[in-house]
Amino acid sequence: MGKSSGGFFAKLIGVLVIATVGIVGYLYVTSGSNPFTSKSVVNTPAPILIGNITREYKLITAQVTGSTTVEGETKNLIPFSTEKWNYQMVMTVTAGIDMTKMKDTDIKTDMENLTASITLPAPEILTKERNGWVVSKDSQLFSGTSTDKNIVDKMQATGEQKILDGILQDGKLFREARLNAEIQLRNFILQLGYRQVKFDYADQPTITPTTPTSSLTAPPR
């Protein structure tokens, strides 16, 4: 009798253990703590702050170099008083996008589609570094009577404007400034968790080439 009672209780305990393990296993499988249960996790992108942009990318620039030859001439009413000049001009123009001009309203985000729309300031001319030299000068017999002390300055001004007009008409300088800004900001914003970045510009640069009005001919004496 004792042996049969002991066997019964042993079987009962075994059944209870198996049932307990089964219940615990079921709860574990169906609970969120199960590492094998797939979960849909959506990462919310970090906010795009103006301060972070202006601190990391205050000014993004591009450079283009151009060259030209300018002819100058001085003369008066005296025969054989002409003096002709050839002047070579080289100039490097730097344009940039000043991120400090951005406003909070220039940044729009769509958290559902994880997209960001950025309105950037228009590129602008920042610096012009020029270098020039006289290539040749042809002076007639009485050219000293028509010498213009400002002839080189006038040729420099004409050459600078001629190069600048050519660069602006070509459009490469502003295109590269925009491209450099978009590449750097796109990489920055994608790292924050966005999937797509779109760019627009508040104002398009006005390209209005001007014709130099300075004369390279000295007035008659």
The domain spans of the chain are 1-41, 50-201
Q: What is the pLDDT of residue 27?
A: 60
The answer to whether 97 touches 120, Cβ cutoff 8 Å, is: yes
pLDDT (0 to 100) of residue 173: 96
> Which tokens is 20 given?
């307990």
Cα 125 → chain centroid: 14
Show pLDDT as tens, one digit a residue, over the chain (221 residues).
555 555 666 666 666 657 666 675 666 555 555 555 555 555 788 888 888 888 888 888 999 999 999 999 888 888 888 899 999 999 999 999 999 999 999 999 999 999 999 999 999 999 999 999 999 999 888 777 767 889 999 999 999 999 999 999 999 999 999 999 999 999 999 999 999 999 998 776 544 443 333 333 333 33
Residue 167 Cα distances to 20, 188, 205, 207, angstroms:
82, 30, 13, 10
What is the rounded radius of gyration, in angstroms, for the C-alpha atoms of the chain?
Answer: 38
Let me know the angle formed at the C-alpha of 43 by 52 and 31, rounded to the nearest 5 degrees.
Answer: 150
Beta bridge partners of residue 110, listed in sequence order: 115
The residues, any chain, with a CB within 8 Å of residue 18's CB and separated by 6 or more, are: none
The pLDDT value recorded for residue 52 is 87
Q: What pLDDT is stored for residue 106 in this prediction?
A: 93
Helices (H), ranges, the chain: 2-30, 50-56, 151-170, 172-190
Quick check: helix, strand or coil at residue 87?
A: strand
pLDDT for position 196: 95
Burial of 174 (C-beta count, 10 Å sphere; 0-12/13-18/19+): buried
